[in-house]
Structure 1
Amino acid sequence: MFRIGEFSRIARVSGRLLRYYDSIGLLSPQHVDATTGYRHYTIGQLGRLNRILALKDLGLTLDQVARLIDDKVSTDEIRGMLLLRKAELEQSLSAEAARLRHIESRLQQIDEQGELKNYDVILKSTPAQPYLSTRRRFGGMDDVVALLRTIVQTVTAQVPAGLRNELIVVAHSDFDDEDLDLDIGFGLAKPINRSITLPDQTSMTIAELPAVDALATLIRRGPSEQSHIGFGALGLWMEANGYQIDGPSREVFLELPTGADAVMEIQFPVRKSTA
């Protein structure tokens, strides 16, 4: 028999680990000296220890390892454990691959723009919410800004602050199109039972802004005419991380626009690319 120090050197594990396995009943010494308390192991126990280490290296819990080596689980249960561990590892690898692509997109941004803009893209979901809005086509951004100001003035005067959420612009057309097809309005905490009439006698009506499972988002602060930088950063992130656009984009104003600058969250519904 071997004392714990000798056995640990043979097995290439620490004495602390052997003591821990003993304390939880996973691998107990063959003999413990009643006088000195010294633990003694036999070379025959090396096989059990090696199996423990091999199963643990697969990522199984020590409770699972104990059940496996003591033949307390069926073959189907063993297969289920390994399949679960396989799925966990695949998910972990996928997450690490996504982080790698995100790093690569930041490096590409530095290479193309000479600096790293302060844009952090976050993937999130959002629930459905009532939406008080008007949908129009615009020939240019000046008309959009003018209507934004009118809507802010009208809605803030007629809808209590506790009922309205953020100002939201939903883009139903690409920004490269000749005209802009936009929904402009406010998200609401709950529906209201009336429409809002704007000064030009058009109405803002209640609809539902649908829930989205996956939104690629970033926060942008600055002049409206520079919003293309934020959209470009999102496009770069989507390309680098294997996503494609899956619906109209949204601009959620985190602060009501009062001047040239705006603080908004740009949101793109996305899904994983199949190509």
Structure 2
Amino acid sequence: MLKIGKFSKLCHVSVRMLRHFEEMGLLLPERVDPFTGYRYYTASQLTTVSTIVSLQRMGLSLTAIGEILESSSTSQALETHIEACYQKKLKEAEKLQVQLWQLKAAGERLRRKEEIMKNYIVVAKELPSCQVASLRDTLSTYTEEGRLWEKLHAEIAPQHPKFATPPFSTATYHDAEYNEANPDVEVQVSVIGSYQDTGHVYFKKLPARLVASVTFTGAYDQITDVNITAMRWIEENGYRTNGTMFNVYHVGPGDTSEPEKWVTECCFPIAAK
């Protein structure tokens, strides 16, 4: 029989780890000297250690390895645990792949960020007073905004409203902070003439407003960068915000399903400091 030190050298596993295997019940010494406490192992147990180490490298836990070693049908137990481990690692690999893609994309965005933000042009402009049909509601998510537009147009359609040219369609987000759920959203479209309020749509006159305006083309994932650019411009040019920002959809999802053709104007009401 082999003392624990010699056994450790032969199987390339530290004495500390062998003692841990013993505590876990995975590998008990063949004999323990009752006087010295020396532990002795047999050559056949080297195979058991090799199996434990191999399964560890595959990602199986020591608990699972113990269940395999204790099973009366070791091959079946091993197959079951390996399949479970495989599925777990597959999910982890898929998650890791997504994270790697996100990291790569984030790096590219950071490299382009300053250049992209320089391409956004901020201008101060006065929006004239106008008459609008307005519908405000709390949505489950921001993606439901299209439902508000459909409801607004459906309720005012019987009155055959005349829309301003060019069209002026806006969305205002009234929450004091960003809410992932239940956002408070108001959509408005400019109209010419007088009309009766409906069950959910109200007609009102908006005052003239001074805004810092940024117009961009493409998908809405640019809005955060647009917001940053606008806030910098407002601070650097002696203005302060003076109301809730809103988006003007010059060309939106209702006009085309191709995001690269969308034209959005972000407006930030401002006043001189």
State TM-score, norm by structure 1: 0.49
Which is higher, the Rg of structure 1 or of structure 2? Answer: 2
State TM-score, norm by structure 2: 0.50
